Amino acid sequence: MRTYLLAAIVFATFTAASYVKASDEVEEPSDDVGDDADDAADDATDDASEDAADEAADDAADAAADDADDPGEDAADEAGDAGEDAAEDAAEDAIDPSSDDDMDDMDDSLGDAADDDEAASDIEGIDATEDDAADEPVELEQDDEAASENEDDSDVSESAESNAGDEPGELNIDADSGPRPGSPSLEATKGDSVDPFHIEIDENGDEVVADEVLALVSDADELLALQEAGFESRIIELLPTLGLQLVSIKVQPSQARQVIERLKSAAPKIMVTRNHLFAAGAIGTAAPQRSNIRRNTDRRGTVGLIDGTVNRSLFDSSLEMRTANFGWENSAMGHGTAVASRLSDAGVRRVYSANIFHGRRAPAVALLRALEWMAYEKVPVINISLAGPENQLVNRAIKILVDRGHAVVAAVGNNGPASPPLFPAAVPGVVAVTAVDRQGRIYRRAVHGAHIAFAAPGVDVPTIDGDGATRSSSGTSFAAPVVSARVARILAVPDVKQRNRAITDIAKVALDRGKPGRDPVFGHGIIGLR
């Protein structure tokens, strides 16, 4: 029986192998004939495999029966089984020697296909994410393009990160200034001279933020009065050192004036005004040799600088500088650095620099935040080299500082002799400074007025711009630092009596020009003319 089965397996194997070999050697006259031959070979292979499997099963059953009947034949049976296994293996190899490898390859292929599907799915997900991400920064890229387009306007602004004036964030103070718990806050932003505000001209001809009204409240009752009057308001800044809370009220641009009148009627004690915009003066273009600049190397005094960004890398370590950013990063760097260079050349030892510009303009909100910082740091002398419209909230903050003994020094502005007084120089108690040339002649664009305290060199004076280039600059912005530096050499800390004494002492040594005594062109006279 076993002999017959073994012979049948061998015969089937030989027949199938021969058929496969013959089909492989046949020259195929057409695709159809080749396909038929392949199908026949596959059928023969399948049949032979099935026959071999059936015969192997029968053989196994017979072997089990024989074992049960005659245990003594185990040795012979095992020998026969071994031979049959060898024959079956040979038959399987003859049918398809690579079947095991093909199955492994198929498994691998299926696994690879699954992996490929997963990878494709992952790639699609990544592509989708990248597509979403590509959509999101469009606005930022547009801002970057605007920044590039405005690089030519470096006289006004060098660069500026989103509308930082809308939401409070973290004050950006350099590490060397140390921690400041309870300090004012505003998230600095990158960008350029594109203004983030909806600007309009108010009834007085001043630039303002069109859709915002500001109010200062000093206690919870005043804030409650605003809310009871039906206005949607939010506290955008606490000014704890000044004892004030700054409230923003969003309005329709065309309704701002009516809203202010309603607020004043509903809460008479609350100070309400528009969010006015201030601008820095232009800087010069000529470039004298740096060696011609006469510096005061005897460094003394501390001055706060409220202006644009200062490029600190252009100053050596003899000038200590601490910075805070209340505007857009790198805004008005040309002007801010130029004014800082005037303080440095005048011999100031330490500068607290506050950037308040958002592109080309500085809102009253940012100026208030900078004044709060100066109050917190107890900076004795505060230089403000910008000018603009009167803002009652700024006036209030400056009055608080003056009453505490700070010396606030401000440029009178460059709108010409016929201009009305500009602010904050015209705020009572502020030391207002105009500009003269090397011969002591008044700057032709300087504002005149009874508020002027001193004149100082500010026409064709050497300055450094934001890129480190030396320029010849003109404007009252560059005269004010000369007076600030002189006051700082006397006033070490905020003190009313010491501040008043310093102003009196400087007035005594001022070079009197114009009408004898104090006049609306030169004030008490010229300081720093060499």
Give 524's Cβ-side CA count (13 Å radius).
16
Burial label, 152 (beta-carbon count in 10 A; 0-12, 13-18, 19+): exposed
Which position among 155, 477, 484, 524 bears the catalytic label?
A: 477
Which of 355, 360, 308 shows the shortest CA–CA distance to 195? 360
Distance CA(493)–CA(26), nearest Å, equals 109
Distance CA(447)–CA(410), nearest Å, equals 12
Mapped onto helix, strand or coil, the DSSP state of residue 265 is: helix
Q: How far is CA 469 from CA 249, 308, 330, 388, in A?
A: 43, 17, 16, 28
Q: Which two tokens stand for residue 361?
A: 């303009």
Which of 320, 284, 280 shows the shortest CA–CA distance to 299? 320
Q: Are the CB atoms for 332 and 355 separated by under 8 Å?
A: yes
> What are the start-end ranges of the E strands in 218-319?
233-239, 244-250, 271-279, 302-307
Query: Is 335 a catalytic site residue?
Result: yes
Q: How far is CA 394 from CA 140, 212, 274, 425, 518, in A?
A: 32, 16, 11, 11, 26
Distance CA(490)–CA(407), nearest Å, equals 11
Residue 34 CA to its chain's centroid (Å):
70
Which position among 335, 448, 451, 524 bears the catalytic label?
A: 335
- Give 461's strand partners: 473
Query: Is 316 a catalytic site residue?
Result: yes
Strands 431-436 and 452-457: parallel
Distance CA(27)–CA(46), nearest Å, equals 23
Q: How far is CA 208 from CA 108, 260, 361, 362, 390, in A?
A: 72, 14, 10, 10, 11
Distance CA(187)–CA(184), nearest Å, equals 10
Which position among 31, 313, 316, 317 bears the catalytic label?
A: 316
Which H, E and C letters describe 130-147, residue by residue? Answer: HHHHHHCCHHHHHHHHHH
Q: Are the CB atoms for 492 and 407 separated by under 8 Å?
A: no
Which of 306, 274, 474, 480 shows the shortest CA–CA distance to 389? 274
Phi, psi of 381 (to 5 degrees): -120, 130
Mapped onto helix, strand or coil, the DSSP state of residue 489 is: coil
Q: How far is CA 486 from CA 259, 297, 387, in A?
A: 44, 14, 21
Residue 89 makes CB contacts below 8 A (sequence gap 6+) with none
Distance CA(341)–CA(332), nearest Å, equals 14
Q: What is the CA radius of gyration of the chain?
A: 44
Q: Which amino acid is at 55?
A: E
Q: What positions carry a catalytic annotation?
A: 316, 335, 477
